[in-house]
Amino acid sequence: MVDSSRGPSRDLARWVAAARPRTLPLTVTPVVAGLALALATSGELHLMTALATLLAAVAIQIGTNLHNDANDFERGNDTPDRLGPPRASAQGWFTPAQVRRAAHLAFFIALFLGALLCLRGGWPILLLGLASLAAGYAYTGGPRPIAYGPFGEVYVLLFFGVAAVAGTHYLQTLTFSPTAIALGAILGLPAAAVLLINNYRDLETDRRGGRLTFCHFLGRARARLLYAALMLAPVPLLWLLDLPGRAWPLVAALPLAAGLIVRLYRGAQGPALNPLLGATALYQTALTLLLIVGLALPGS
């Protein structure tokens, strides 16, 4: 039943909440990393292309979030007593049909911006854009949603890491870069850790709803080990990457990662994991900012 206590300001606040703004750093961060790498390697930055890239990525993320909201509710996985932050359909703020229409609008905006980007990037960007839209729809849509199986973390690593960084770099330089692909894969690791924490929190409710994520197959103990690996591995991997700058600022990320790992190992469960989830997303941002500092320093 849809909540009847509505007004323009309340509706706007609820639409903003439905878009899940706290997830947007996972979209913005790899785009910024791709831009920083392009600037460091080419010495140029195409501002309008950069802005369109960023807005298209955000539109795909918002569309995916809204589509997820409606689909999870209709599949019975989101209820008003869910462990995570409230969802629009489950709370009765809007009907699933309304939320899905908003998702389609976000996807259309992304498609329009993607068409403009194709004028610069050509068929590689066309293929990447279509793949991103299809993946956003398939994450919780279709007969076999990605989010309901064990490959969600792989999806995140590919699209919130490799595709975002390498695609952004290509749009700026019009060259394929193994370094950009590797950088995307490395920055995708903490993004995958965000999803892992989300599924770790929801493990029991996901199982009851038939959502057998990678965390289900790992179990909690091994999921904690994987989380630690996903958080710690980026620093030595970035150090080994042939970047046009210096890697030593990245060492500052290790205490941040260690602190988050300790918080998980102290046994937080259920809603108590929500702050850790947000902090994990911000860790990817901190890692990228430290990377930018290193890129700005003269190389050895």
Task: Give the relative orientation of helices 47-74 and 25-42 as an angle to the nearest 10 degrees.
Answer: 160
pLDDT at 80 over 70: no
Q: In sequence order, what are the residues at sequence separation of 6 or more whose Cβ sits closer than 8 angstroms to the Cβ of residue 98?
A: none
Return the amino acid letter for 6: R
**What is the overall mean pLDDT for the chain?**
90
Cα–Cα distance between 111 and 199 in angstroms, integer?
29
Cα–Cα distance between 69 and 90 in angstroms, integer?
8
Specify the DSSP class assigned to residue 93.
Answer: S
pLDDT at 7 over 70: no
Instruction: Determine the length of the chain.
Output: 300
pLDDT tens string 238-255:
999 988 888 899 999 999
Q: Phi and psi dihedrals of 169, rounded to 5?
A: -60, -40
The b/e string for 14-36 (b: 16+ C-beta within 10 A; e otherwise) is bbebbbbeebbbbbbbbbbbbbb
Q: What is the pLDDT of residue 225?
A: 97
Q: What is the pLDDT of residue 211?
A: 85
Domains of the chain plus CATH, in order, are 15-296 (1.10.600)
| pTM for this model (two decimals) | 0.91
> What is the mean predicted confidence (pLDDT) over 62-82?
80
Helix, strand counts (H, E) of the chain: 15, 0
| Band (208; pLDDT cuts 50, 70, 90) | confident
pLDDT tens string 58-70:
999 999 999 988 8
Instruction: Say if CB 157 and CB 192 are below 8 A apart.
Output: yes
| Band (164; pLDDT cuts 50, 70, 90) | very high
Instruction: Say if CB 93 and CB 14 are below 8 A apart.
Output: yes
| Band (23; pLDDT cuts 50, 70, 90) | confident
Structure tokens at 293: 């500092």
- For 238-241, which contacts have Cβ atoms below 8 Å and span 24 or more sequence positions? 238/183, 238/186, 238/287, 238/291, 241/179, 241/182, 241/183, 241/186
